[in-house]
């Protein structure tokens, strides 16, 4: 929890900034603690524990703007830091779009209904944590002669935020998270050592998967044995749920307010237009209880709400914070998506594979990028050649190349296997006619 | 979460929440020239006796080795947007990390307060990695002065006001708009960072370092007949405020405009396997991804690198030598000392085609029974040091770039990159080409853009058939990501011909 003294310090810092020349001010205090245990093969490799604090102060001075942040919480030091910060901001050019949000947009109430914090956080002992990390590795260590190395990790953290602003916002947020992961390297053909990993992450200790992570990681590594590249060509592409984030990110960046305001987006002026497949209804729901990434208010204090990002292929919204909103003369939404998911799915990954018939299942991306202005992309991939709905052989060292709007217009199937261990709860997705480069 | 991938970004370099304030909140009046050990001890409000006491606690459970790493970093950032310098941010980070090593095992804790009680608590936490009991040992302190300062500062960033930095951003903006009528938007950002480091270990080594860093970068957006394109240029050096010059403004402005303008005429090539001529400079990304990470000794110690048993073996043509170097003056990857008290040095990874040395931190060096190579680096006091690259480059060969291009019937020439990645075990690496040219019948023809290239480390190394004599370092804002830690690095290379790589593209 944020301590009473920390709240007092935040309010004091705000008042001090106002006294020293700010017309408006917002202060955030963030604190947290974390612990982690890493195991290699059978032995503890690394343990780490720490606590940290940070104060961020947003200064609005004579129509000018700057921010300062520090982990030094002594008032004497803060006084000098704030005064120096204000002095620096005064040198800048004016920017009339910089002001605190309209108070009517602020969240008021409690986030308790989201259940983002496990009250048992403090009661899990170090021994239990270490035991879990060791068990995750022990699940597979020595179980297959091809295993070269197994690394597992348990990690948790609790984080607290308190934000106060001079035009009336006061908000508090508390979250916890627990995670376990296993990565494994196996002896492949020649010198190759295929590796893979699996993990789970949840908001509560109870809901954390405590078994099966190691086995899943090993399966994923072993199935990579004998990867080769195949002939270049256009193939249908099924992207596994774990990998979808890579190709969704450019769409989310393209509807970020800053990109729109800078006219540097392939989705500029596209709200209300059908830009992707009509199968695509993508929802941002920051208010989904017990979900990683859920929140009642953004970093400015603006209340979040559920909204459709794409609806039957039509772009419904940009993500704009109050600064960009003022610049564009539009109402603010929030600066970024929180919890993203598709409204419905067509079937399991296996069923999508059967529907695809012949094509490529992409299980991971390797590098690559997307041009934010044009949507042109190119990414390295690995995965499997699929024939008659079944994996035929593992492939790697190939690229996919194309344009984001064409790719997403070719979305033809949505999985029912959305991953809950991430704030973007992505299912496996099927696309038609993607350019693969290999031999 | 554990993830086996290493990422490498050029477009980074913007520190979240960084920027400008003279961070003198903690400091008395100061000039880097007066930076003595006593000054640094006073700065962190700690005495040699207190260091010895904390060290004794760190070692009390029978650790083999321990170190204490104090850091005070001041970051600042200025941004020009829509024609005006209208945003600034600054950040102070302060704390101490305590590490205890027992065999290959590490215990680590850090605290943001340097009071004795906080440091003792952190030392006790880190000491838990060992479970024996030893008597209290007293460590004899030996001050190790740095042999050389590779980043001497003339004007410290702390003493440089926002007002003095602002004109350089404005000049970049104005210059870019003056160079091409198609320019629609420009964002210019300038960041700087100053770190005070105090280091003490259980061998009694007591060292300190003062680390500056400056960056200036511009993103240019152009519009032509409804088509939008963007381009970027940036530079980064371990320098004080003397880094900001009119020449730098000119270089960055010209480069950003040139890169963006090129994009309008560029096409995507037809994809597939083909010869690739990698132009001098940024092509060093090939070394960073294809071999650099795979030679970091932690992966080899854990036996997970594709090069795990190749030490002393021939891995490429005898004309090729590859180095990782912390001693290039003012280079973004330079280190007077690494983050575990090992002096900056120059390491041949490949010497005359033979794998000569891994890149070591203390743990891997001990594991292999060799001296550490000065590659133990960390993002901050919040992290344990791990083997990281510094400035990674290839030495000159004897070929000429024009002969390489002339030797290719159908392929591509590439010299501008944004990011790359590698899978250590499989050896598959990639890098993203922002722009380059088609090679047709031995000549550069149409510009190309936005394609990914993928290859396999050992294969690509042995497929380097020609090395030119035009070595160049790329001083962009390269940032390497590994195990959740970011680290400033650079790369460089003469032009080379790789006989076969898989190039992304469209199929007819």
pLDDT digits (tens, 9 = 90+) for A281-295: 999 999 999 999 999
CB atoms A191 and B427 under 8 Å: yes
Query: B231 at the A interface (CB within 8 A)?
Result: no
- Chain B residues with beta carbon closer than 8 angstroms to that of A181: 1-2
Residue A365's alpha-carbon distances to A413, B290, B429, in angstroms, are 20, 17, 11
Gap between the terminal Cα atoms of chain A? 57
Q: What pLDDT sits at residue B12?
A: 32
Query: B125 at the A interface (CB within 8 A)?
Result: yes
Residue pair B485/B361 in contact (Cβ under 8 Å)? The answer is no
Q: What pLDDT sits at residue B344?
A: 93
The answer to which of B27-41, B104-118, B374-388, B431-445 has the lowest mean pLDDT is: B27-41
Can you tell me whether residue A362 is helix, strand or coil?
Answer: strand
By C-alpha distance, the chain B residue nearest A156 is B1
Q: Indicate if A208 and A242 belong to the same structural domain.
A: no
Q: How far is A381 from chain B (nearest CA, A)?
A: 9
Contacts of B265 (CB under 8 A, 6+ apart): B446, B447
Question: Which one, of B157, B71, B290, B366, lies nearest residue A380 by Cα?
Answer: B290
Element (H, E) at B65: strand B65-81
Question: Which one, of B376, B392, B296, lies nearest residue B344 by Cα?
Answer: B376
Q: What DSSP character marks residue B400?
A: -
Listed by number, the residues of chain A in 128-167 with a beta carbon closer than 8 Å to a beta carbon of chain B are 148-149, 151-153, 155
Q: What pLDDT sits at residue B136?
A: 52
Q: What pLDDT sits at residue B424?
A: 76
What's the pLDDT tens digit per position in A54-76? 999 999 999 999 999 999 999 99
- Chain B residues with beta carbon closer than 8 angstroms to that of A71: 92-95, 112
Residue B453's alpha-carbon distances to A129, A341, B351, in angstroms, are 42, 31, 26
Distance, in Å, from the CA atom of A380 to the CA atom of A437, rounded to the nearest integer, reads: 9
Distance, in Å, from the CA atom of B31 to the CA atom of B158, rounded to the nearest integer, reads: 9
Listed by number, the residues of chain A in 161-200 with a beta carbon closer than 8 Å to a beta carbon of chain B are 179, 181-183, 185, 188, 191-197, 199
Distance, in Å, from the CA atom of A84 to the CA atom of A73, rounded to the nearest integer, reads: 16
Answer whether residue A367 is part of any domain: yes
CB atoms B271 and A43 under 8 Å: no
Q: Which of B88, B104, B432 sits opposite A369 (nearest CB)?
A: B432
Q: Which of B1, B90, B452 sits opposite A367 (nearest CB)?
A: B452
Angle (CA) A193-A196-A202 rounded to 5° is: 160
ipTM: 0.90
Return mean pLDDT, chain B.
Answer: 88
Distance, in Å, from the CA atom of A394 to the CA atom of A215, rounded to the nearest integer, reads: 19
Distance, in Å, from the CA atom of B172 to the CA atom of B186, rounded to the nearest integer, reads: 9
Dig out the tokens for B350 from the structure.
């490949």
The answer to which of A76-80, B193-197, B299-303, B381-385 has the lowest mean pLDDT is: B299-303
pTM above 0.95, yes or no: no
Q: Indicate if A317 and A252 belong to the same structural domain.
A: yes
Answer whether residue A95 is part of any domain: yes
What's the pLDDT tens digit per position in A137-146? 999 999 999 9
Q: What pLDDT sits at residue B32?
A: 53
Rounded to an integer, the average pLDDT of A429-439 is 94
Q: Which of A181, A195, A264 sits opposite B425 (nearest CB)?
A: A195
Question: Which one, of A77, A73, A96, lies nearest residue A85 by Cα?
Answer: A77
Q: How far is B93 from chain A (nearest CA, A)?
A: 6
Structural domain of residue A80, as residue ranges?
4-222
Query: B308 at the A interface (CB within 8 A)?
Result: yes
Helices A4-19 and A75-89 cross at an angle (nearest 10°) of: 40
Mutate to test the interface with B, among A193, A197, A375, A381 (most CBs of B within 10 A): A193
By C-alpha distance, the chain A residue nearest B307 is A191
Q: Indicate if A370 and A414 belong to the same structural domain.
A: yes
Distance, in Å, from the CA atom of B115 to the CA atom of B128, rounded to the nearest integer, reads: 21
Q: What pLDDT sits at residue B238?
A: 96
Distance, in Å, from the CA atom of B321 to the CA atom of B397, rounded to the nearest integer, reads: 9
CB atoms B24 and A88 under 8 Å: no
Distance, in Å, from the CA atom of B342 to the CA atom of B205, rounded to the nearest integer, reads: 10
What's the pLDDT tens digit per position in B451-501? 999 998 888 989 999 999 999 999 999 999 888 889 999 999 999 999 999
Query: B223 at the A interface (CB within 8 A)?
Result: yes
Helices B48-58 and B116-127 cross at an angle (nearest 10°) of: 30
Q: Indicate if A218 and A247 belong to the same structural domain.
A: no
Q: Indicate if A197 and A105 belong to the same structural domain.
A: yes
What's the pLDDT tens digit per position in A310-332? 999 999 999 999 999 999 999 99
Answer whether residue B131 shows pLDDT above 70.
Answer: yes
Listed by number, the residues of chain B in 402-431 with a beta carbon closer than 8 Å to a beta carbon of chain A are 418-421, 423-431
Q: What pLDDT sits at residue B28?
A: 37
Answer whether residue A227 is part of any domain: no
Q: Indicate if A201 and A323 belong to the same structural domain.
A: no
Within A178-231, residue ranges assigned H as helices are: 213-222
Q: What pLDDT sits at residue B134?
A: 58
Distance, in Å, from the CA atom of A132 to the CA atom of A180, rounded to the nearest integer, reads: 8
Listed by number, the residues of chain A in 297-336 with a beta carbon closer than 8 Å to a beta carbon of chain B are 327
Rounded to an integer, the average pLDDT of A350-374 is 94
Dig out the tokens for B9 from the structure.
């970004």
Answer whether residue B21 shows pLDDT above 70.
Answer: no
Give me the number of domains chain A comprises: 2
Beta strands in A63-165 (DSSP E): 64-70, 147-165
Q: What pLDDT sits at residue A432?
A: 95
The Cβ of residue A104 has, within 10 Å, a number of other Cβ atoms equal to 7
Query: B192 at the A interface (CB within 8 A)?
Result: no
Answer whether residue A175 is part of any domain: yes
Q: How far is A175 from chain B (nearest CA, A)?
A: 17
Indicate the residue among A190, A222, A254 that finishes a domain. A222
Answer whether residue A339 is part of any domain: yes
Residue pair B256/B218 in contact (Cβ under 8 Å)? The answer is yes
Answer whether residue A219 shows pLDDT above 70.
Answer: yes
Query: A268 at the B interface (CB within 8 A)?
Result: yes
Query: B89 at the A interface (CB within 8 A)?
Result: yes
- Residue A123, Cβ density class (10 Å: 0-12 exposed, 13-18 middle, ≥19 buried): exposed
Answer whether residue A271 is part of any domain: yes
Confidence of residue B132 (pLDDT cuts 50, 70, 90): low
What's the pLDDT tens digit per position in B138-168? 567 777 777 789 999 999 999 899 999 999 9
Query: A273 at the B interface (CB within 8 A)?
Result: no
Q: Indicate if A238 and A140 belong to the same structural domain.
A: no
Listed by number, the residues of chain B in 315-354 with a beta carbon closer than 8 Å to a beta carbon of chain A are none
Rounded to an integer, the average pLDDT of A42-57 is 89
List, as one string, the DSSP characters of B204-249: -EEEEEEEEEEEEEEEEEEEETTEEEEEEEEEEES--GGG--HHHH
Q: How far is C-alpha B154 from the geometric centre of its chain's CA atoms?
A: 23
Answer whether residue B5 shows pLDDT above 50.
Answer: no
Q: How far is B164 from chain A (nearest CA, A)?
A: 10
Listed by number, the residues of chain A in 48-87 with a beta carbon closer than 8 Å to a beta carbon of chain B are 48-53, 56, 64-72, 77-78, 80-81, 84-85
CB atoms B228 and A373 under 8 Å: yes
CB atoms B187 and A81 under 8 Å: no
Dig out the tokens for A317 from the structure.
């919204």
Rounded to an integer, the average pLDDT of A73-80 is 93
Confidence of residue B3 (pLDDT cuts 50, 70, 90): very low
Can you tell me whether residue B199 is helix, strand or coil?
Answer: strand
Answer whether residue A299 shows pLDDT above 80.
Answer: yes
Q: Indicate if A160 and A293 belong to the same structural domain.
A: no
Answer whether residue A362 is part of any domain: yes
Listed by number, the residues of chain B in 255-274 with a beta carbon closer than 8 Å to a beta carbon of chain A are 268, 271-273
Confidence of residue B302 (pLDDT cuts 50, 70, 90): confident
Q: How far is C-alpha A326 from the geometric centre of its chain's CA atoms?
A: 26
Q: What pLDDT sits at residue B484?
A: 86
Q: What pLDDT sits at residue B306?
A: 75
Confidence of residue A302 (pLDDT cuts 50, 70, 90): very high
Q: What is the CATH number of the domain that holds A184?
A: 3.30.2290.10
Q: Indicate if A197 and A274 belong to the same structural domain.
A: no
Rounded to an integer, the average pLDDT of B161-181 is 96
CB atoms A380 and B428 under 8 Å: yes
Listed by number, the residues of chain B in 11-50 with a beta carbon closer than 8 Å to a beta carbon of chain A are 17, 19-26
Q: What pLDDT sits at residue B23?
A: 30
CB atoms B86 and A94 under 8 Å: yes
Residue pair B244/B165 in contact (Cβ under 8 Å)? The answer is yes
What's the pLDDT tens digit per position in B60-96? 998 999 999 999 999 999 999 999 999 999 999 999 9
Q: Is the sign of the CA dihedral A346, A349, A352, A354 positive or negative?
A: negative
Residues in chain B: 508
Distance, in Å, from the CA atom of B59 to the CA atom of B51, rounded to the nearest integer, reads: 12
Indicate the residue among A173, A198, A222 that finishes a domain. A222
Q: What DSSP character marks residue A160?
A: E
Give the phi and the psi of residue B360 in degrees, each rounded to 5: -110, 150
By C-alpha distance, the chain B residue nearest A323 is B87
CB atoms A194 and B425 under 8 Å: yes
Q: How far is A154 from chain B (nearest CA, A)?
A: 9
- Chain B residues with beta carbon closer than 8 angstroms to that of A396: 426, 428
Answer whether residue B309 shows pLDDT above 80.
Answer: no
Residue pair A69/B89 in contact (Cβ under 8 Å)? The answer is yes
Rounded to an integer, the average pLDDT of B366-370 is 88
Q: Which of A46, A89, A95 sits opposite B384 (nearest CB)?
A: A46
CB atoms A437 and B184 under 8 Å: no
Distance, in Å, from the CA atom of B357 to the CA atom of B360, rounded to the nearest integer, reads: 9
Residue pair B476/B249 in contact (Cβ under 8 Å)? The answer is no
Dig out the tokens for A7 from the structure.
């709240």
Based on its alpha-carbon atoms, the radius of gyration of chain A, rounded to whole angstroms, reads: 24
Exposure of B80 in the CB half-sphere (CA atoms within 13 A): 26
Distance, in Å, from the CA atom of A277 to the CA atom of A268, rounded to the nearest integer, reads: 18
By C-alpha distance, the chain A residue nearest B273 is A439
The Cβ of residue B184 has, within 10 Å, a number of other Cβ atoms equal to 16
Residue B147's alpha-carbon distances to B324, B327, B373, B390, in angstroms, are 19, 11, 15, 18
Q: Identify which has the larger pLDDT, B137 or B268.
A: B268
Residues in chain A: 439
Q: Indicate if A213 and A265 belong to the same structural domain.
A: no
Give the phi and the psi of residue A175 in degrees, each rounded to 5: -135, 155
Exposure of A70 in the CB half-sphere (CA atoms within 13 A): 26
What's the pLDDT tens digit per position in B226-254? 899 999 999 999 999 999 999 999 999 99
Answer whether residue A228 is part of any domain: no
Indicate the residue among A201, A222, A243 that finishes a domain. A222
Confidence of residue A49 (pLDDT cuts 50, 70, 90): confident
Of all residues in chain A, what percent carry a pLDDT higher than 70?
Answer: 100
Q: Indicate if A191 and A246 belong to the same structural domain.
A: no
Dig out the tokens for A6 from the structure.
């920390």
Q: What pLDDT sits at residue B4?
A: 36
Helices B246-265 and B162-179 cross at an angle (nearest 10°) of: 40
Strand pairing partners for A51? A33
CB atoms A378 and B450 under 8 Å: yes
Q: Is the sign of the CA dihedral A275, A276, A277, A280 positive or negative?
A: negative
Angle (CA) B417-B193-B292 rounded to 5° is: 40
Contacts of B416 (CB under 8 A, 6+ apart): B259, B282, B433, B434, B435, B436
Rounded to an integer, the average pLDDT of A46-52 is 87
Distance, in Å, from the CA atom of A357 to the CA atom of A237, rounded to the nearest integer, reads: 11
Q: Indicate if A322 and A385 belong to the same structural domain.
A: yes
Q: What pLDDT sits at residue B297?
A: 80
Q: How far is B102 from chain A (nearest CA, A)?
A: 9
Of all residues in chain A, what percent carry a pLDDT higher than 90?
Answer: 89
């Amino acid at each position: 929890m944020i301590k009473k003294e920390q709240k007092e310090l935040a309010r004091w810092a705000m008042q001090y900034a106002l006294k020293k020349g700010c017309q408006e001010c917002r202060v955030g205090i963030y604190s947290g603690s974390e612990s982690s245990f890493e195991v290699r093969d059978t032995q503890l490799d690394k343990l780490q524990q720490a606590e940290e604090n940070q104060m961020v102060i947003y200064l609005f001075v004579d129509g000018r703007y700057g921010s300062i942040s520090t982990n030094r919480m002594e008032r004497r030091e803060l006084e000098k830091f704030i005064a120096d910060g204000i002095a620096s901001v005064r040198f800048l050019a004016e920017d009339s779009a910089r002001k605190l949000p309209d108070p009517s947009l602020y969240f008021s109430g409690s986030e308790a209904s989201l259940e983002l914090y496990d009250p048992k956080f403090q009661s899990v002992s170090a021994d239990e944590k270490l035991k879990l990390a060791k068990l995750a590795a022990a699940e597979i260590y020595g179980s297959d002669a091809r295993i070269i190395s197994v690394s597992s990790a348990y990690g948790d953290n609790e984080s607290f935020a308190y934000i106060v602003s001079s035009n009336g916002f006061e908000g508090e947020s508390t979250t916890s998270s627990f995670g376990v992961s296993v990565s494994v390297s196996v002896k492949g053909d020649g010198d190759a050592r295929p590796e893979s990993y699996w993990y789970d992450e949840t908001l509560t200790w109870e809901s954390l998967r405590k078994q099966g992570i190691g086995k899943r990681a090993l399966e994923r590594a072993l199935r990579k044995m004998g990867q080769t590249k195949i002939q270049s060509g256009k193939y249908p592409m099924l992207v596994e749920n774990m990998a979808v984030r890579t190709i969704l990110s450019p769409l989310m960046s393209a509807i970020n307010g800053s990109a729109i305001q800078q006219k540097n987006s392939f989705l500029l002026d596209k709200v209300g237009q059908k830009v992707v497949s009509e199968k695509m209804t993508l929802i941002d729901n920051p208010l989904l209880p017990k979900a990683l990434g859920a929140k009642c208010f953004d970093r400015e204090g603006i209340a979040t709400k559920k909204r459709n990002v794409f609806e039957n292929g039509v772009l419904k919204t940009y993500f704009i914070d109050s600064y960009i909103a003022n610049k564009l003369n539009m109402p603010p939404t929030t600066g970024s998506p929180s919890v993203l998911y598709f409204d419905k799915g067509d079937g399991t990954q296996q069923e999508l594979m059967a529907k695809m018939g012949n094509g490529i299942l992409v299980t991971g991306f390797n590098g690559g990028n997307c041009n934010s202005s044009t949507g042109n992309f190119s990414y390295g991939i690995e995965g499997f050649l699929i024939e008659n709905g079944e994996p035929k052989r593992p492939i790697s060292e190939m690229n996919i190349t194309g344009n984001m709007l064409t790719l997403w217009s070719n979305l033809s199937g949505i999985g029912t296997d959305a991953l809950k261990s991430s704030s973007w709860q992505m299912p496996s997705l099927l696309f038609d006619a993607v350019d693969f480069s290999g031999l | 979460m554990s993830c086996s991938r290493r990422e490498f970004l050029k477009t980074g370099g913007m520190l979240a929440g960084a920027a400008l304030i003279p961070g003198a909140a903690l400091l008395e009046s100061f000039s880097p020239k007066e930076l003595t050990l006593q000054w640094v001890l006073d700065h962190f409000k700690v005495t040699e006796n207190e260091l010895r006491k904390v060290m004794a606690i760190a070692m009390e459970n029978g650790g083999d080795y321990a170190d204490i790493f104090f850091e005070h970093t001041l970051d600042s950032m200025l941004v020009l947007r829509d024609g005006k310098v209208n945003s600034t941010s600054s950040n102070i980070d302060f704390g101490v990390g305590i590490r205890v090593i027992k065999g290959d095992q590490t215990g680590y804790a850090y605290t943001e307060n340097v009071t004795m009680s906080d440091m003792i608590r952190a030392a006790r936490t880190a000491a838990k990695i060992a479970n024996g009991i030893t008597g209290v040992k007293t460590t004899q302190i030996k001050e190790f002065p740095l042999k050389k300062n590779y980043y001497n500062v003339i004007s410290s960033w702390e003493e440089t006001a926002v007002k003095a930095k602002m004109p350089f951003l404005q000049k970049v903006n104005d210059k870019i708009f003056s160079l091409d009528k198609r320019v629609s938007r420009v964002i210019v950002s300038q960041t700087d960072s100053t770190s005070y480091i105090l280091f003490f270990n259980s061998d009694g080594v007591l060292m300190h370092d003062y680390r500056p860093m400056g960056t200036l970068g511009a993103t240019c957006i152009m519009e032509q007949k409804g088509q939008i394109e963007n381009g970027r240029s940036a530079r980064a050096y371990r320098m004080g405020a003397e880094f900001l010059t009119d020449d730098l403004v000119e270089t960055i402005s010209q480069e950003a405009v040139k890169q963006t303008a090129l994009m309008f005429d560029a096409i995507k090539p037809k994809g597939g396997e083909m010869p690739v001529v990698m132009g001098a400079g940024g092509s060093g990304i090939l070394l960073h991804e294809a071999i650099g990470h795979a030679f970091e000794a932690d992966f080899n110690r854990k036996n997970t690198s594709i090069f795990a048993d190749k030490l002393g073996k021939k891995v490429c043509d005898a004309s090729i030598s590859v180095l990782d170097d912390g001693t290039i003056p003012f280079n973004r990857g330079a280190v007077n000392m690494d983050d575990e008290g090992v002096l900056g040095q120059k390491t041949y990874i490949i010497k005359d085609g033979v794998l000569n040395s891994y890149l070591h931190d203390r743990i891997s060096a001990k594991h292999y029974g060799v001296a550490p190579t000065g590659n133990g680096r960390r993002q901050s006091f919040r992290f344990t040091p791990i083997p990281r690259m510094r400035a990674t480059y290839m030495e000159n060969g004897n070929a000429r770039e024009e002969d390489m291009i002339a030797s290719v019937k159908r392929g591509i020439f590439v010299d501008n990159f944004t990011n790359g990645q590698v899978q250590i075990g499989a050896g598959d690496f990639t890098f993203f080409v922002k722009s380059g040219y088609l090679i047709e019948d031995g000549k550069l023809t149409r510009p190309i853009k936005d394609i990914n290239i993928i290859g396999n480390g050992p294969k690509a190394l042995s497929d380097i058939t020609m090395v030119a004599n035009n070595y160049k370092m790329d001083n962009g804002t390269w940032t390497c990501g590994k195990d959740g830690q970011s680290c400033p690095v650079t790369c460089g290379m003469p032009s080379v011909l790789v006989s076969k790589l898989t190039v992304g593209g469209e199929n007819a």
